[in-house]
Amino acid sequence: MIVKLDITSNEQIQASVNAALERFGRIDVLVNNAGYGLLGYFEEMSENLIRQQIETNVFGTMKLTRAVLPTMRKQGTGWIIVISSTSGIKAVEGGSVYSASKFALEGWTEGMSIDLKPFGIQCMLVEPGAFPTDFFNEKTSFTFSDVEIDDFKQKRKIMYNNFVSRDQRQPGDPAKLAKALMTAVNVSNPPLRLVSGRYAVESVDQYLKERRSEIESWREVSRSTDFD
């Protein structure tokens, strides 16, 4: 069964949930995969573009999840899977606002996993690296900044060309990611986070090592901020 769904539309969300319940009588899994990338430098993005990004990637995902949770709580079981990104762990040049949306999903899902565990509902964040899913296709899946500032002109052109040149050249295999996800949800102790792709694992591993090093370097200063 396929239904049309804009996750920013309350009406379409409720209609889709109703259709699923009418057809199947229950909802066991919600995969929150809808979203897109807003790329470019923060200063070159209008407030309208930023709001659209957050409205879709964050609030849209939250709205759809809110609509299925009553059914899952009644069932006493369910899976909420949220497609995040390595950009939800570490930011890269040109991805500040996109990362803001994915960082938000990371914190929300982690907290939700604690809140929903007593109801038998499990949550998982999938953190893919680069997969050929039209992400860098400006006609379908990503939006570039809409304001031009002279200081960014040269870097902007290089960045844009770099992004679009990656379209359909990403190393990740979507079919293998789906298989990995099925493996993860069917074990007795599933992960809260599933990093996906060799480059993703390596870059996240390096990032976490750098964070740990920074914490250690500043440990004494950090510890000195409590009352005596």
Active site residues: 98
Tokens 């509902």, residue located? 121
> Cα–Cα distance between 94 and 129 in angstroms, integer?
16
How many separate helices (H) and strands (E) can be counted in the chain?
Answer: 8, 6
Identify which of 193, 224, 161 has the alpha carbon closest to the alpha carbon of residue 82.
Answer: 193
Pull the structure tokens for residue 181.
Answer: 């996800």
Please tell me whether residue 152 adopts helix, strand or coil conformation.
helix
How large is the C-alpha radius of gyration of the chain? 19
Tokens 């930011």, residue located? 91
Helix/strand/coil percent split, the chain, to 5: 55, 10, 30
Which DSSP string do the residues of 58-92 spell out, in sequence order? IIIHHHHHHHHHHHHHHHT-EEEEEE--GGGTS--
The angle that helices 10-24 and 61-75 make with each other, rounded to 10 degrees, is 30
